[in-house]
């Protein structure tokens, strides 16, 4: 067999391999979309597809709330035509508020006793969970509220502990404890409203999506 024929066979084999991968990924994405649409139908939620130049994904709309799973590309200045991809899966509503303070619930972190380094790491974690409103969370401290089953998986932070105890109902605790995902979500409740999200994750399993939405709905009850 000539070198040319051998090269053509390699190219053909590579093309077939890439084609098979493309079809597998496409079918997987189609199956995922259909399972989410079925979940929305069963729960009585409205499904909205999101597709534009820089964003793709979907939104689910319930009564007084929205859940969105959006992948966004943002241009960078490092090189022409380059972009960064960010993914967010979050539930949010502005129908309820945590006035004059903040309640933050997030994945339990290991106890770090490193002096100032430990404090820096704690503040970094809080800023990651709170986002751009971190500077407004004055006086926020860890609060040992909730059942042991909750505290085994989550940490609770607030600057209004008495109010936090009121809004963290048994229903909300149960929804948090029963969330089926491996990494617990973050709950942020402040003057802007209520948000439940997973950081740097894309939820695809219907049970995880339903579990995250159940957490948000529990705080609305």
Is the model's pLDDT at 64 over the cut of 70? yes
**Stretch 86-90: mean pLDDT:** 86
Widest Cα–Cα separation across the chain:
81
In degrees rounded to 5, what are phi and psi of residue 61? -115, 125
pLDDT of residue 69: 93
Residue 55 binned pLDDT confidence (cut-offs 50, 70, 90): confident
Is the model's pLDDT at 26 over the cut of 60? no
pLDDT of residue 14: 60
Given its phi and psi angles, is residue 57 left (phi above 0), alpha (psi -120 to 50 degrees) or beta?
Answer: left
Is the model's pLDDT at 178 over the cut of 70? yes
**Stretch 170-176: mean pLDDT:** 97
Using CB atoms within 10 Å of the CB of residue 127, give its burial: 0 to 12 exposed, 13 to 18 middle, 19+ buried.
middle
pLDDT of residue 155: 92
Q: In the predicted model, what is the mean pLDDT of the chain?
A: 81
Closest Cα partner for 145 from 123, 113, 176? 176
pLDDT of residue 131: 64
Rounded CA-CA distance 104/98 in Å is 11
pLDDT of residue 60: 97
Residue 116 binned pLDDT confidence (cut-offs 50, 70, 90): very low
pLDDT of residue 24: 46
In order, the DSSP letters of 148-165 are HHHHTTEEEEES-HHHHH
Joined together, the tokens standing for residue 208 give: 């995880």
Four-residue CA torsion sign, 200, 204, 207, 213: positive
Is the model's pLDDT at 23 over the cut of 50? no
Residue, of 97 and 132, whose pLDDT is higher: 97
Residue 6 binned pLDDT confidence (cut-offs 50, 70, 90): low
Residues 210 and 133 sit within 8 Å (Cβ to Cβ): no
What is the pTM for the complete model shown?
0.77
pLDDT of residue 22: 47
**Stretch 69-96: mean pLDDT:** 76
**Stretch 134-151: mean pLDDT:** 83
């Amino acid at each position: 067999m000539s070198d040319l024929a051998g090269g053509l066979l390699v190219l053909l084999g590579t093309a077939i391999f890439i084609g098979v991968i493309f079809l597998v990924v496409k079918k997987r994405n189609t199956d995922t979309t259909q399972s989410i649409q079925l979940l929305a139908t069963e729960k009585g939620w409205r499904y909205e597809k999101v597709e534009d130049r820089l964003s793709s994904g979907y939104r689910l709309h319930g009564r007084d709330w929205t859940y969105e799973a959006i992948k966004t590309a943002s241009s960078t200045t490092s090189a022409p035509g380059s972009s960064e991809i960010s993914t967010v899966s979050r539930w949010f509503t502005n129908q309820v508020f945590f006035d004059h303070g903040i309640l933050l619930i997030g994945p339990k972190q290991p106890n770090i006793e490193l002096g100032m380094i430990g404090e820096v790491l704690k503040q970094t974690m809080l800023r990651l969970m709170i986002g751009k409103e971190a500077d407004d969370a004055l006086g926020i401290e860890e609060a040992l509220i909730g059942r042991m089953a909750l505290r085994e998986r989550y940490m609770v932070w607030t600057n209004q502990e008495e109010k936090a105890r009121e809004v963290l109902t048994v229903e909300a605790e149960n929804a948090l404890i029963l969330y089926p995902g491996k990494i617990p979500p973050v709950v942020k409740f402040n003057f802007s409203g209520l948000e439940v999200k997973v950081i740097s994750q894309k939820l695809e399993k219907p049970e995880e999506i339903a579990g995250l939405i159940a957490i948000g709905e529990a705080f609305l009850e």
